[in-house]
Chains A and B, each alone.
Chain A
């Protein structure tokens, strides 16, 4: 779960390096400890991190501790899931979403079938 080492803890400080300069697509989960739906999808995000290991990166931004990043991307609803590639937001999903949908979008960005 939260201690899955495949899930990168993203911060205002490392966002540039870990996400914007990443060689592979990155799924970024904006969340907070007090958000019920965020807690419910956390295991899905963790699973995806394992399934896409090496092909895509999965990271989480705690919006309470990293307001700058959340603000930068206009996040006003959580969970918000942004898909980055080559330093740009390619897709976004807002609210709790199914694993299938996330997996498909991430696959599309990696250029490989799920």
Chain B
């Protein structure tokens, strides 16, 4: 934890002297930019929990909700493993409640996506939607992860036309049809089970011959007679012009390929990729793009920047662990601010606390 100059920044865990591209900041006037004690990036369980705690600490956090407000839980159905909800709770409803609780204590939630950052010096500079400048004394990154796709050309072309990563959003469009779910984890089991409410038949295509889903989720899927498991199988092409009309798959044991021409919907449940692109080159990350944090904390390599939730967690990825690290990030940020104090942007501002600075007070209202 020395300092945040780009010379100490690194990419994928290796030291580098390459300065991240700052051209997006060219011509952006920061002279009237808002200055906040805490800017929270992302609104899953981690972001909202960080917002709740920093709001209760009177840090007046501003939360940027990003392109997928509420995060992954908004695409799930029943959350049955979040303590305190013995009857389960719907994912979207749970995120509404997180949001409401954070706002109750004064968190300022805003639509907008943090697209660029400049962590060379404090206060940190952020761009919202590529154009709106914001200063932050501390930043809590809780951008989470988004569904992963296979990366096939025709798959990408047919997203929204039969290819989707959100069974709860799109399942109802497949009433009476045959669909395929790709994956072997809990979300693949949940999605395939959910899809049987609409589809006549659900194939689960898995590239191995056993699942990594939890036992309870596996059992549910095995017992459902609309679900057929297709083992050792990978999708190599998605067929169709304006809508999915079939899949080409390969058996990775025999090398045999075949067309599944009864499939009109392809649901991906093959994991997630972290949404950490705006922070590349600034924050240390592993090879998959997950932000590295100092052990037993949410500290990143940049002082005053903290990471929580799935953006830094490739291992547990639960709502409750995300909320836990969001809380840690809030406490880390609060203590860090106490120890390191606040700084005014160069050059004009007097070095007073943010709350007393008339320039900032005016800017904060704009």
Contacts and interface: CB of A to CB of B under 8 A. Distances in A.
Nearest to B163: A77
Contact of B160 (A38, A77, A96, A100): A77
Interface string A93-106: 01111111100000
B278 interface: no
B170 A36 contact: no
Contact of B111 (A47, A75, A77, A80): A47
Contacts of A20: none
B164 interface: yes
Interface string A29-53: 0001011111111011001000000
A45 to B, nearest CB: 11
A66 to B, nearest CB: 13
| Contact count band on A | 20 to 34
A36 B159 CA distance: 18
A35 B169 contact: yes
Given A98-B111, A98-B129, A37 B166 contact: yes
Interface residues of B, number: 37
B346 interface: no
Contact of A36 (B111, B162, B169, B242): B169
A44 B66 CA distance: 12
B67 A96 contact: yes
A74 interface: yes
A32 B74 contact: no
A7 to B, nearest CB: 16
A90 interface: no
B68 A96 contact: yes
Contacts of A94: 159-160
A35 B130 contact: no
A89 interface: no
Nearest to A80: B160
A36 B129 contact: no
B222 interface: no
